[in-house]
Structure 1
């Protein structure tokens, strides 16, 4: 038996479970807290994939029966949870004709100094054009 190509893998479901466990209002729905805590306990104990998949299905069903049409995995839960950026942060040249220099930009540290323009580089996101 093969899985569908678009079926979320265990990592997506684990991320969605983590986001769900961090959402008190979603856990107040009837049956959801128990199913989520069971999935968390199985994940922590290193349960086999069959048992974990069954638990994820039960959690998805509990969410939908409680009125959450999103289920366990959707665009607003899991990999796109708040705080997860799909792009790498980089420092780029601030000059009027930017040079190709790129540096890793860390959130809590200032951008590196640009020796040519005499200012700090500006932070941006590494896109497909770079």
Structure 2
């Protein structure tokens, strides 16, 4: 489980850097209204900050799984919520069509709906592993 947490933390740090630098907004800055770009930058920055916090918590938790058993269990509950949210977004939005005319959005995730579904499945798998291993920790 420790290796999984370290890999997850590295992924989150990379994701946070992408959002902090607003890389995905490259092709829309000159197309979207200034207010929309400002709002997107705000949300990207806040998201990056929380992702860095999650990565830090994961790196601390992996040092002593027994000590942080409660935190890991709560993260499993959150994973169910997050997976459900991703499935909801996946079923109510067609991101492929929405991103089609914006290369910097499309190039990052040409199959964004499938990515959301895959991430939801991973969240559910994580929750199951946490719940099954919770008593063993």
TM-score (structure 2 length as normaliser) = 0.25
Higher relative contact order (CA 8 A, sep 6+): 2
Quick check: which one's helix share is greater? 2
Quick check: which one's strand share is greater? 1
TM-score (structure 1 length as normaliser) = 0.26
